[in-house]
């Protein structure tokens, strides 16, 4: 994975970490349920976005294989990962 891409993912994960800490504070402060759920939804969307970047990189590597059998196996693994992110 390229350094620039890795840095983008790390930056996203740090923002997500901040969102999660904010959620903890909201719960400690007994904020409204609707507000908490809205923030949880935003954190989940941010995590999904980071997962898509990692998966896109992984799929690119899978398709770059020159051996057709290996490419097929790797593609199946990548698809399995995709389905896990959607579960």
Is 69 exposed, middle or buried, given 0-12, 13-18 or 19+ CB atoms closer than 10 A? exposed
What six digits make up the tokens of 9? 């993912």
How far is the CA of 73 from the CAs of 26, 58, 60, in angstroms? 45, 13, 14
pLDDT in tens, 50-65: 888 888 887 777 777 7
Domain count, the chain: 1
What six digits make up the tokens of 65? 């294989």
State which residues form the domain around 8. 3-86
CATH no. for residue 16? 1.20.58.1000
18 in Cβ contact with 27 (< 8 Å): no
- What was the pLDDT predicted at 87? 62
**Structure pTM?**
0.73
pLDDT in tens, 29-38: 999 999 999 9
Distance CA 14, CA 20 (A): 10
Reduced to 3 states (helix: H, G, I; strand: E, B; else coil), residue 37 is helix
* Contacts for 50 with CB less than 8 Å, ≥ 6 apart: 9, 12, 13, 16
């Amino acid at each position: 994975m390229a350094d620039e891409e890795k840095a983008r993912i790390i930056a996203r994960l740090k923002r997500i970490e901040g969102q999660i800490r904010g959620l903890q504070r909201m719960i400690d402060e007994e904020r409204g349920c609707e507000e908490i759920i809205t923030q949880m939804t935003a954190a989940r969307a941010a995590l999904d976005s980071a997962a898509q970047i990692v998966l896109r990189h992984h799929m690119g590597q899978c398709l770059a294989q020159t051996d057709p059998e290996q490419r097929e196996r790797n593609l199946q693994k990548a698809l399995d990962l995709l389905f896990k992110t959607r579960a």
